[in-house]
Amino acid sequence: MIKIILSTALLATTLTFVGCNTVQTVEKEQGLVLLQSNVWNLSQIGALEVKTGPDAGKLPSIQFDQTAKRVSGSDGCNRIMGGYSLNGQQLQFTDMAATRMMCSDNMQQADDFNQALARVTGYQVYSNTLRLLDRHGNVVLTFKRVVTP
């Protein structure tokens, strides 16, 4: 009788762990799909809100091309482009380049954005929010998903 109870308890525990792992895997896969199939507009650099409005200039944005493993977007002043690689929740940008236009109103924000982008080693996607993380797990850039009607 005790063997049956122990076997049942062991089976229930195993199924619980397998079920939890499956949920985590599905969430990661959904995050990967969201990451690579949307345009993301910057909302925060670190803890600082990004300026928006008519006099704030162009909003920084980023987009991932899953097929070509390329990233493109804008730092709010210049176009940015490069490669990227993913390994689980790790994200690395490679061979990043940018145009070199002069923008009097957005240069500091563009510089801050590019410096933060260079520190990215990971990501998290939750519904309409993309968080890019540094090697310590700190959020360095936060984006909101662009929802097209």
Q: What residues does each domain of the chain span? A: 41-145
* Pairwise CA distance, residues 139 & 131, whole Å: 6
Question: What per-residue confidence (pLDDT) applies to 24?
Answer: 44
Q: What does the angle CA 105 – CA 114 – CA 81 come to, to the nearest 5 degrees? A: 105
Amino acid identity, position 42? L
Tell me the average confidence (pLDDT) per consecutive run of 10 residues in the chain, 149 residues long.
60 52 46 78 94 71 95 94 95 94 80 95 94 98 89
Residue spans of beta strands (DSSP E) within the chain = 39-45, 48-49, 61-65, 70-74, 79-87, 90-98, 122-126, 129-133, 139-145
Question: What per-residue confidence (pLDDT) applies to 128?
Answer: 93
* Pairwise CA distance, residues 143 & 43, whole Å: 5
Residue keyed to tokens 């704030």? 56
To the question of domain 41-145 being in CATH 2.40.128.270, the answer is yes
Whole-model pTM above 0.85? no
* Pairwise CA distance, residues 29 & 112, whole Å: 30
* Residues 77 and 51 sit within 8 Å (Cβ to Cβ): no
Question: What per-residue confidence (pLDDT) applies to 141?
Answer: 98
CA distances to 15, 40, 55, 58, 97 from 44, in Å:
40, 12, 18, 14, 22
